[in-house]
Amino acid sequence: MAFALSSMHVTSSAFDNHQAIPDKHTAEHEDVSPALAWQGAPEGTKGFAVICHDPDAPLVKEGTYGFVHWVLYNLPGDLNELSENTSLGTVGANDFGKQGYGGPMPPEGHGQHLYYFWVLALDHQTSLPEGLTLAELLREVEPNLLGMNRLVGTYQRN
């Protein structure tokens, strides 16, 4: 599916759309994932995946751009929220070279970056192995993508 933006609505109790991500959720501080919630998933949704990506990061790597902060998948289709610092789902690899959530930390002096927290609705429940990169995850789920939408947060290093 080439275009999958849907009417699904993604929110967080930690920050509003296009507003600052609290320090607690950054790699400079506690580095815990923010709570996320979504509603209006497309009919037939049986699973979800979540991605956090910084398109403003000056990084080109293996045919992609920006910086991947979080890859989370194998989430059940009846789920509509993740608590802060969630242990749900299966974690993939981030561009810090680790698995799980790695919060915002743009280069010093680089100004404000945008962080896209994408929720992907899938037509089946996945059971993918731990440690997939964003590219690997997207190759697996793209044929089963029903829709997606995002919440955008901002962060700038002090």
pLDDT of residue 96: 94
Residues 91-131 have pLDDT tens digits of 999 999 999 999 999 988 889 999 999 999 999 999 999 99
Q: Is residue 19 part of a domain?
A: yes
pLDDT of residue 3: 66
pLDDT < 70: residue spans in the chain: 1-3, 62-63
Q: Is the dihedral of CA 144, 142, 122, 72 positive or negative?
A: positive
67: nearest Cα among 114, 25, 112 = 114
Q: Is residue 4 part of a domain?
A: no
pLDDT of residue 11: 98
Residue 111 sits in a domain of what CATH number?
A: 3.90.280.10
pLDDT of residue 43: 94
**Any idea how long the chain is?**
158
Domain count for the chain: 1
Q: Is residue 54 part of a domain?
A: yes
Q: Is residue 3 part of a domain?
A: no
Return d(Cα 111, Cα 157) in angstroms, integer.
Answer: 7
Q: Is residue 5 part of a domain?
A: no
pLDDT of residue 158: 76
pLDDT of residue 85: 98
DSSP for the chain, please give it: ----B-S-EEE-SS--TTEEPPGGGSTTTT--PPPEEEE-PPTT--EEEEEEEETTS--EETTEESEEEEEEEEEETT--EE-TT---SEE-B-TTSSBS-----PPTT---EEEEEEEEEESS---PPTT--HHHHHHHHGGGEEEEEEEEEEE---
* Cα–Cα separations (whole angstroms), residue 128 to 9, 21, 84, 121: 25, 29, 23, 15
pLDDT of residue 40: 96
Q: Is residue 2 part of a domain?
A: no
Return d(Cα 92, Cα 72) in angstroms, integer.
Answer: 6
Q: Is residue 21 part of a domain?
A: yes
Domain range for 77 is 10-155
